[in-house]
Structure 1
């Protein structure tokens, strides 16, 4: 998922399950998206999918 910091999709999903519902929150927790930023769109997609799976709204800004 995040090549710069070696963060996997699974780790993004874990972060979301722990309450990190924004790209910035996931970045603070995992460092994903804090390098080149190229994966921020994919992180947002994962967050949207995680929110849809549990029925909560996602704030992917």
Structure 2
């Protein structure tokens, strides 16, 4: 697994999740609420992905 490229991919996905969260935060109809929750869930998932990849990268140096 190429850790350098994966970290930037997950950071980009985290930023896009924040963008969805920000778009959906200011409106009240169903679609905007969907964007709000989809962005919130994406931020949570990709935060865990960044933590896992970071730990794997850290522990990979001890092989």
Tell me if TM exceeds 0.5. Answer: no
Structure whose CA Rg is larger: 2
Q: TM-score range by the shorter chain?
A: 0.3 to 0.5
Q: Normalised by the size of structure 1, how large is the TM-score?
A: 0.37
